[in-house]
């Protein structure tokens, strides 16, 4: 078995990240691995407060720059207080979203300058990068139908379909640019088949 690894799950709305996060957790724990399960934005008390600020709907629009900086502020707390300590203790970290989401949502969806995201990534993370990223991918219209059935939409979920098409395209581009780390999982199929695909990507690390 290899040393402690950092695994992330990515994807647009309604692709089944939460369900499959716990599938991966069980798979790792069944293999005798100690796992920390966390999420972004969030993961610490302060980062969860920032998450609420980012997701809530209010009368004051959140500027694109403020959104990006808040995300990385939460990420800085998360890395320092959860991710790095867990990895140092030999525990694997399984995270619902990480910096690929910033490239997808802020660069892809919002059209922000990618160089700003790269600068923040290097400044906040140093050399820390996920060892494996599972990108759950499904057509936007399917994901949105699923997402709308869950609960009242948050600030991001209220965006138009064109926004989420750009997010999806940015995710797929990231996967193409990082084929060793990012593995695309077809989330538009029965759950068992989705999890069979996930298993094929996880097993080489066990």
pLDDT digits (tens, 9 = 90+) for 33-87: 999 999 999 999 999 999 999 988 888 888 999 999 999 999 999 999 999 999 9
Instruction: Report the sign of the C-alpha dihedral through residues 84, 90, 95, 97, in that order.
Output: positive
φ and ψ at residue 154, rounded to 5 degrees: -90, -175
Helices within 31-179 (DSSP H only):
45-55, 64-78, 84-88, 99-101, 114-125, 140-150, 161-177
- 150-170: average pLDDT: 83
Inter-residue contact 9 to 132 (CB < 8 Å)? no
If 0-12 CB within 10 Å is exposed, 13-18 middle and 19+ buried, where does residue 154 land?
middle
Nearby residues of 28 by Cβ (< 8 Å), 6 or more positions away: 35, 92, 94, 202, 206
- 169-177: average pLDDT: 98
Cα distance from N-terminal residue to C-terminal residue, the chain: 5
pLDDT digits (tens, 9 = 90+) for 8-46: 999 998 888 989 999 999 999 999 999 999 999 999 999
């Amino acid at each position: 078995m290899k040393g402690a690894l950092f695994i992330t799950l990515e994807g647009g709305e309604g692709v089944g990240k939460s369900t499959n996060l716990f599938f991966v957790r069980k798979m790792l724990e069944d293999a005798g691995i100690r796992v920390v399960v966390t999420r972004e934005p969030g993961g610490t008390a302060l980062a969860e407060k920032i998450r609420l600020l980012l997701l809530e709907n209010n009368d004051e629009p959140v500027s694109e720059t403020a959104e990006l900086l808040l995300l990385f502020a939460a990420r800085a707390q998360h890395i320092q207080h959860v991710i790095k300590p867990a990895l140092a203790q030999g525990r694997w970290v399984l995270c619902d979203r990480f910096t690929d989401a910033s490239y997808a949502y802020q660069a892809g969806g919002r059209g922000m300058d990618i160089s700003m995201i790269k600068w923040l990534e290097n400044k906040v993370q140093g050399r820390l990068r996920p060892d494996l990223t599972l990108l759950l991918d499904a057509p936007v219209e399917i994901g949105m139908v699923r997402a709308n059935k869950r609960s009242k939409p948050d600030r991001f979920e209220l965006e138009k379909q064109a926004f989420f098409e750009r997010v999806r395209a940015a995710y797929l581009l990231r996967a193409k640019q990082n084929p060793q780390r990012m593995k695309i999982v077809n989330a538009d199929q029965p759950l068992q088949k989705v999890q069979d695909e996930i298993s094929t990507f996880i097993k080489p690390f066990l």
